[in-house]
Structure 1
Amino acid sequence: MKVVLREWKKSDATALAHIANNRKIWDNVRDKLPHPYSKKDAKNWLAL
């Protein structure tokens, strides 16, 4: 399997919100990640 890493794009906001809204992910990074994680949260992160 080939894996390619790239920088986040603004168009990734929906996918990022979906992935980051996973409770199992939040359990491991709860000090820094809001839950629920909205598309607005994703857009704010991508704007940094």
Structure 2
Amino acid sequence: MKHSKRRNRKTKIEELIKKNPKLEALRRLPPEVIARAIKSKMNEEDNKK
């Protein structure tokens, strides 16, 4: 299960961009930056629960 996360990251970014055109700029950022942003977003969502 762990290994699938990395594979899904790209599609997750694509989906985010589709939902939010402002995120189009993320495409030009290095993957580490995007990964960090997604991670912090996920942490925020986890904290809401």
> Considering the TM-score relative to the shorter chain, is it more than 0.5?
no
More RCO (CA 8 Å, sep 6+)? 1
Please give the TM-score of this superposition, normalised by the length of structure 1. Answer: 0.34
Please give the TM-score of this superposition, normalised by the length of structure 2. Answer: 0.34
